[in-house]
Structure 1
Amino acid sequence: MRDGSAFLNDNAQRIADGMVRDADRLRVAVSTGSSGERFIDAGAKVTGSIEAGLRIAEATMGGLGSISAVIDRTLETWPFTLEVRSSQPVLACLASQYAGWNLSNGDYFAMGSGPARALARVEPLFSTLAYRDTASSAVLVLETPKPPPPAVVEKVTKATGLPADKLTFLYAPTQSLAGTVQIVSRVLEVAMHKANDLKFPLENILDGIGAAPLPAPHPDFLTAMGRTNDAIIYGSVVQLFVKGPAAQAKELAQKLPSHTSRDHGQPFAEIFKKFKGDFYAIDPLLFSPAEVIVMALETGETFRAGRRDLKMLERSLG
């Protein structure tokens, strides 16, 4: 079997190449930076699209996730739902999708996600993920209205060991269609990240499915950020299939939902204001699904905890 993270970049490269080929249909813009790096704007100076967001989300998961837009009639006001599945959730979500690479420079702020992270391996998270990459090109996704400046591109080239012309940067702001889609598509990833924080054995998580309502984008950044976070915190459901003792599966189900956080119970935009815009002051345990189902494969038992909060969604999503 090939090294796990190597095919993450290969898969993402094919997805990015497909976006370039379908740029007109997706309403994205392709350009080349000063050092030969490729930029794909999916919502900053272009309209973008839901389909562009779905493809970005698949790229962030290194091609190991299936993301689709479906109708969920149980959410009458927000029936348009994003469904995410992966049979390699540790690789797809933690080694690739998680936005854990700080690429800020001066007044430019961005957190990098996508499989280029697995090549650079500069984050503490990779001390628990024993995956190395031998890719000849890399893809990075940025939730930002601007392409990365030359200093950031240089930082990525040094960390990945690749020349700039082998790098693709996909970017879209939170307020855009594509940005909204790719953020809400992290519904499974937040469950995986919290499971890691809870010290659940990652090798025991074999499969995962998540779903969250897709809110309307909003031109105000804080409102848009609040909606995308609340769609997951108060409106999502995740099911994990795990091996190992049933007692471990039960404990995971009980601790994983967002209601276990001290900051649960207010729209995210209000929480953000309360902490004066300090994202890192917010309880990290808040970033998790509203409802969790954990199935213990060795015993056939299913454990459930949490619930979706429709009243909170009404306050936040409009």
Structure 2
Amino acid sequence: MNLNERSLRVVEKLLARAEERKVAAQAIERGGRFIDCGIDVPGGLLAGLDLARVCMANLAEITIVPGDVAGRACPVVQVVTDHPVRACLASQYAGWAISEEKFFAMGSGPMRAAKGDEPIFAKISGRESARSVVGVLEGRKKPTPAVIAKIAAACQVSPTGVTLLIAPTASLAGGVQIVARSVETALHKLAELGFNLRRIESASGSAPLPPVAANDLAAIGRTNDAILYGARVVLYVRGDDASIEAIGPKVPSSSSHDHGEPFAAIFAKYNNDFYAVDPHLFSPAEVVFQNLETGRVHVFGQVATDVMASSFFS
């Protein structure tokens, strides 16, 4: 079950419908290609779903379903997976900081499994060898040949074997792929807390898709609020209940001292420095553990509709 091969199949289907999906592929000098999903082309909701599927190596069903926030229509991005650890942590997690000259972006997708040297891979299985790799970036800058070469070297592939998909935060496609991280944020938080991830069999998550903001900084606020105050995740686990009760209160975003106001305000307080924000904040609003062995259900955290309404509609 090679993650990069699975994502490449999604990419080829996306490219076969490029006009329909409002995306455009561009070759990179000296090898490689990137697929613009919202910089010079519109992108769209369906392109965003494909971006999310690429991020998760097509190991999840991802859909947009009706929903509301404070009584106002607001679509919900729903994620269901029977391979949550591989889909979310070996692939979807934005764990690769790609920096080359003036280019910087956080890298997601299965190319991370080919690189395989992030600390998270010491806790999970998922490293793989690949002939071609696929990554997803959040941003507005197009990758240079130097960026492609750096990724190729890290993944031990030829530059011609690198495919990158890019969408800005303030875009339809970018918003969808970010909000599709409800389960991923829960699993990453559990990994940081030392929970045995092998206990997690399946997962389901949902989060509201906020309105596209006027600029990327404002969009960072809205998309984070969708997860921190609106995401609801159900984890299907095995093992004892006592350990779940012990760790559960630490999992939702409400466990952070920064919780309670829109992310834009929190971000500004820390001079727009992600690394200064309390890392315990980055998790879903509500996390439910359903124990497949005992039948017990453990619920932690809750949705904060008022914060989302202030962020989305003010």
Q: For this structure pair, what is the TM-score category when the shorter chain's length is used for normalisation?
A: over 0.9
Partner Cα separation in structure 1 for residue 146 and residue 137 of structure 2? 15
Q: Does 1:94 align with 2:89?
A: yes
In structure 1, the partner of 2:153 is 158
In structure 2, the partner of 1:230 is 225
Decide which of 43, 48, 65 is 1:48's aligned counterpart.
Answer: 43
- AA of the residue aligned to 2:122: S
Task: Give the CA deviation at 1:313.
Answer: 0.7
Q: Does 1:12 align with 2:7?
A: yes
Task: Give the CA deviation at 1:73.
Answer: 5.3
1:249–1:295 contact (8 Å) kept in structure 2: no
Partner Cα separation in structure 1 for residue 117 and residue 66 of structure 2? 39
Decide which of 175, 181, 197 is 2:176's aligned counterpart.
Answer: 181
In structure 2, the partner of 1:288 is 283
**Structure 2, unaligned stretches of length 5 or more?**
none
2:172–2:212 contact (8 Å) kept in structure 1: yes
Helix, strand or coil: the match of 1:103? strand
Decide which of 254, 257, 261 is 2:256's aligned counterpart.
Answer: 261
In structure 1, the partner of 2:309 is 314
Task: Give the CA deviation at 1:14.
Answer: 0.4
Q: Does 1:136 align with 2:157?
A: no
1:78–1:213 contact (8 Å) kept in structure 2: no
Task: Give the CA deviation at 1:75.
Answer: 5.6
- AA of the residue aligned to 2:76: T
**Structure 1, unaligned stretches of length 5 or more?**
none
Identical aligned residues as a percent: 44
In structure 2, the partner of 1:167 is 162
The normalised TM-score by structure 2 is 0.97
Runs of 4+ in 1 over 6 A off after TM superposition: none
Per-residue displacement from partner, 1:222-242 (whole Å, max 9, x unpaired)? Answer: 211100000010011100011
Aligned residue pair count = 313
Partner Cα separation in structure 2 for residue 107 and residue 166 of structure 1? 23
Task: Give the CA deviation at 1:72.
Answer: 2.8
Task: Give the CA deviation at 1:74.
Answer: 7.3
The normalised TM-score by structure 1 is 0.96
Per-residue displacement from partner, 1:196-250 (whole Å, max 9, x unpaired)? Answer: 0111001011111000000111122221110000001001110001111111222
The two structures, once aligned, show a CA RMSD in angstroms of 1.2
Partner Cα separation in structure 2 for residue 60 and residue 73 of structure 1? 26
- Please say which of residues 201-210 and 120-129 is displaced more in the overlay: 120-129
